[in-house]
Amino acid sequence: MSKLAVILIVLIGVSAVVLASIDSQAVSGEPVTVSANTTLAYERQIQFYKNKIQENPRDAMAHNLLGMAYQGLQRPDDAIREYKQSTNLAPDYAEAWNNLGSAYHVKKNLKQAVKHYRKAIELKPELASAHRNLGTALLARRKVNDGIDAYRRAYELNPTIFVETGSSCAVKEMDKGMQYFCFAKISAASGRIDTALDFLEKAHDA
């Protein structure tokens, strides 16, 4: 049997497992512990950007950065308020739309998360983090093929997107096994069968 046939059989089998267990890969609803030093840093950022906004209430970037600080403190509702203000002031601010999606993602409102990730991509198609976040949300909604496509695009735009340290507003990543499976599908679709097999082995061992 050819390597291509083997990988197709394995990928089909793994897809069934993923569809049955994808909910466990969604963003966790459990509170995340923030260290005292980190908390102090975010609180200082919040005060700084509040002062900036007091000086200029129409500063869209300051509202976005204030939202990121709130999200760093696990305060997604406050973050959403600031991201919305940012996008109202600057409707073409793709990064703020992406961050708004990530805040909804943290709240497990995947429908709104996907909507805002897509808006960010519409405004800035080269924004790799929006494609990555969209892929994670789509996979959590069991839209496996669409999620893989979004991951593929993120990887094309930035080959290190899945190993970089996320910002404070980045959504929780898939576990390593799921990431390797996604890379296997991306590699297989690109005709890189040996690479795909290697990723499948890593997914199995993860």
- pLDDT tens figures, 154-196: 888 987 776 664 433 344 445 667 667 777 776 666 667 777 7
C-alpha neighbours within 13 Å on the C-beta side of residue 54:
6
Percent of the chain with pLDDT over 70: 70
A 10 A CB-CB count for 29 gives 8
As given in the structure block, the two tokens for residue 121 are 């991509």
- Give the mean pLDDT of 15-20: 31
Angstrom CA distances, 124 to 96, 118, 156, 185, stand at: 11, 10, 15, 25
Dump pLDDT digits (tens) for 74-114.
Answer: 999 999 999 999 999 999 999 999 999 999 999 999 999 99
Angstrom CA distances, 15 to 23, 81, 137, 144, 179, stand at: 14, 37, 17, 8, 13
pLDDT of residue 181: 74
pTM for the full model?
Answer: 0.71
In this structure, which topology does domain 28-171 adopt according to CATH?
1.25.40
Domain boundaries, the chain: 28-171
pLDDT of residue 148: 79
Residue 22 has pLDDT above 60, yes or no: no
pLDDT of residue 124: 96
DSSP 107: T
Residue 73 has pLDDT above 60, yes or no: yes
- Cα separation, 60 vs 192, whole angstroms: 44
Q: Which range among 1-5, 95-99, 149-153, 166-170 shows the weakest confidence by mean pLDDT?
A: 166-170
pLDDT of residue 51: 96
Burial class of residue 39, CB neighbours in 10 A (0-12, 13-18, 19+)? middle
A 10 A CB-CB count for 192 gives 15
- Cα separation, 57 vs 98, whole angstroms: 21
pLDDT of residue 8: 43
Q: Which residue has the higher pLDDT, 58 or 204?
A: 58
